[in-house]
Amino acid sequence: MGWPFFGETLHWLVQGSRFHSSRRERYGTVFKTHLLGRPVIRVSGAENVRTILLGEHRLVRSQWPQSAHILLGSHTLLGAVGEPHRRRRKGIRARDQLHQHLEGAISEKLHEDKAAEPGDALELIIHSARELGHEPSMQELKRRKFLQMKRRKYGFIYKTHLFGRPTVRVMGADNVRRILLGEHRLVSVHWPASVRTILGSGCLSNLHDSSHKQRKKVIMRAFSREALECYVPVITEEVGSSLEQWLSCGERGLLVYPEVKRLMFRIAMRILLGCEPQLAGDGDAEQQLVEAFEEMTRNLFSLPIDVPFSGLYRGMKARNLIHARIEQNIRAKICGLRASEAGRGCKDALQLLIEHSWERGERLDMQALKQSSTELLFGGHETTASAATSLITYLGLYPHVLQKVREELKSKGLLCKSNQDNKLDMEILEQLKYIGCVIKETLRLNPPVPGGFRVALKTFELNGYQIPKGWNVIYSICDTHDVAEIFTNKEEFNPDRFMLPHPEDASRFSFIPFGGGLRSCVGKEFAKILLKIFTVELARHCDWQLLNGPPTMKTSPTVYPVDNLPARFTHFHGEI
């Protein structure tokens, strides 16, 4: 365990060119050494290397260091040997051929007569983008074409693999209805191991049966109509403050998505955790917390390998920083409640959870409170930021829709220059039907969360397909919206479609941006009110221009624009 293990390995990792050349000069083109605790023969020179490379499966086989196998996993192309390697390599070639085929089909569409009417969904996407003066990217078109081909080839239910587990992907209103209403009988919530590890077993998403029902009932009290009425002025104040900053940026513009995330984070801190801005720390501390959430979110869906620099490791490191900051606020909240300083007015979700433990005579579980608070902040700002960014995108791309929004505001007396007589409240917000339709149409085209995870509790049949016990099931929200028969011209942004009544049974599971069944989004009413206030304030105070045109959207794990949506905001003076 002396020089051969430590010395040679150290020099190898440093990889100095002089070290390698000195070894060749001293020992020749073939010599013995030790690397990572194993005897190793180092080979160089064309003839020697030729014998090794052409001797695959006869003389040698692929064998990477153990650390590479642990980090990359045993199911990678590098780790596969023999027939599995051949199959995987063949699959990669087939994928490349498929991409070439997709690019060929898309290129034909792009070079067809631009004046011709669109004949299929892909042509409609290209046609709509060109109407807006934007040439759609090949990456975006390939993804849409790929999903269409998967649906066309395999239907609305098909098997795949995700995070090393057999998974069934489900879409379509009837199929999704069976999954969502089959909670506890056919399926149960089962997020990937990395999500369970990072968010923790004490959060609502990972609870089951009576524990989930009880916790959800407590948190729902924070989203009652009475509570939402209390939140309206807080949301209006925060949105107004942010819009003033955006307008002050002038000609240089700003990146919308990061700014919206900061706005939604402040709102979630105040409303869900009851943390006022002066208690949250200075701007740098707030930015540090926002960045920690971004790091945690980026690594939420990762391989469940906890080693330095892995996604799971980075996600847990960010989560620990968040927990440390949140714990300070929780302890301050508990002290305030015991002193009866925070017992008046509306109760935030964190306060309700603390009081629920006291009512049941339970000892406060700080770890569970930190996990619940982290989940509330994650769900309360990540998804709403995605939806609000999409609203800015669509209203910026479709000025006639923004015009109709302002006409509705004018009809309700909300577009006058003075803000003295047009304060928002729940009654006024509920009257804004068209704005509600704009939000619904935005969530139909760009649902912030693309789907949900379940696991089969028993083997059952779904639309003629057998789903084995223990397999993962993903119900797709975005695909279900894409194939819903109740919507015509599905690629078109048309809020008026929601002004028309749909049969209740037909539309219930054709439009599911908040999921459904026992595990539907606990804060969906809060999200609707928040997005309405955001749209109202945006429309009556701002005009804006998207500097890069229609953005390419990506999911990781929520939907967001890859360019962060650069835009320039100017004052709207109330004239339509």
Q: Tokens for 462, please give them.
A: 């779904």
CB 347 within 8 A of CB 227: yes
Mutual orientation of helices 349-359 and 366-397 as an angle, nearest 10°? Answer: 150
Alpha helices in 54-137 (DSSP H): 66-72, 83-111, 121-131
- Residue 573 CB neighbour total at 10 angstroms: 8
CB 302 within 8 A of CB 311: yes
How far is it, in rounded angstroms, from Cα 215 to Cα 519? Answer: 12
| Nearest residue to 253 (alpha-carbon basis) of 571, 574, 516, 566 | 566
Tell whether residue 335 is among the known ligand binding residues.
no
Task: Give pairs for 333-339: CB < 8 Å, separation 24+.
Answer: 333/273, 333/274, 334/364
CB 347 within 8 A of CB 356: no
For 245, residues 6+ apart whose C-beta sits below 8 A from its C-beta are 259
CB 219 within 8 A of CB 355: no
Residue corresponding to tokens 């791309």: 397
Q: Which residues pair with 56 in a beta bridge?
A: 60
Residue corresponding to tokens 């590098």: 78
Helix (H, G, I), strand (E, B) or coil at 190: coil
Cα–Cα distances in Å, from 150 out to 43, 147, 157, 511, 553? 46, 5, 10, 21, 20
Q: Tokens for 255, please give them.
A: 């990146």
- Residue 167 CB neighbour total at 10 angstroms: 18
DSSP 157: E
Helix (DSSP H) and strand (DSSP E) numbers for the chain: 22, 14
Integer-rounded Cα radius of gyration of the chain: 28
Helix (H, G, I), strand (E, B) or coil at 555: strand
Q: Residues marked as binding?
A: 521
Q: Residues marked as binding for heme?
A: 521
